[in-house]
Amino acid sequence: MESLAHYPFFVFVLTFVFLSIATIAGASLHRRYPTVTADHKDDLGVILAATLTLLALIIGFSFAMATNRYDERKRLEEAEASATRTEIARAELLQPVEAEKVRKLLREYVDQRILFYDIRDISRRAQIAQRTSQLEGDLWAPIREAAAAQPTPVVALIVAGMNDVFKAQGDAQAAEWNRIPIAAWLLMAAIALCCTVLLGYRARTSMRLALVLPLVVAISFFLIADIDAPRHGLIHVGPENLESVALGRPQ
């Protein structure tokens, strides 16, 4: 089951709503306890500046984590397409019957991998993963038979190429599971909550201006969640390289 952090629009809405409530709660505390000395105001100013700085650092660190994961997913999709394209070419070195079988299976394999990047439905993705696993077994069978019948350097090269295809698929799947931990999201939310309460308590102007910080933080959280989520949201890695393999494959 996917967590809420995998849905950027929900992250934006919930963050803005809860931080706005926290800001209003801080203003209510100020109205309830209005007698604050000048020293207390200075202390609150220092604490607010420190928490805002810490929040900015953590948001920047989380953004860097998300962009690194996004770049890794793009790199692995390219590596997967390269390994598959190479293996399709190497399959020509097999015996005609085996070569045709391997090419046919690789064509279907590429189609399943493209669906892996495009489909958002969880149940459909489970079906795709199951079919991909079956295809890997079907692809390995003729390669294993060819290696047993003719243990030549050429066949060994084909075996190594098929292993690269499977490894690239596993790396891409692992990169999809590699997300920003929920604990990091909770820590960011807790610090943002403290910042907005303090800001609401110290606000001397209208509440509309005080709600700028919740909006900015919500947009920042949305961007981090959007980059970190492989499928949901506006930014995601598409199978452009795999699609080029599918379009350029031998028919």
48 with 26: CB under 8 angstroms? no
Buried b (16+ CB within 10 A) or exposed e, 68-105: ebbebbeebbebbbebbbebbebbeebeeebbebbbeb
- For each of the chain's 251 residues, which pLDDT tens digit applies? 456 778 889 999 999 999 999 988 888 877 776 655 555 667 777 888 888 999 999 999 999 999 998 999 999 999 999 999 998 888 888 888 888 888 888 989 999 898 888 887 777 888 888 888 888 888 888 888 887 887 888 888 888 888 888 898 888 888 888 888 888 898 899 999 999 988 888 776 566 777 888 999 999 999 999 998 877 778 888 888 888 888 874 44
How far is it, in rounded angstroms, from Cα 147 to Cα 119? 36
Q: Mapped to the 3 state alphabet, what secondary structure does 27-59 carry?
A: HHHHHHCCCCCHHHHHHHHHHHHHHHHHHHHHH
Looking at residue 36, its pLDDT comes to 59
Looking at residue 217, its pLDDT comes to 93
Longest dimension (CA), the chain: 90
pTM: 0.81
Looking at residue 243, its pLDDT comes to 87
Looking at residue 124, its pLDDT comes to 84
Three-state DSSP at 88 gives helix
Looking at residue 1, its pLDDT comes to 41
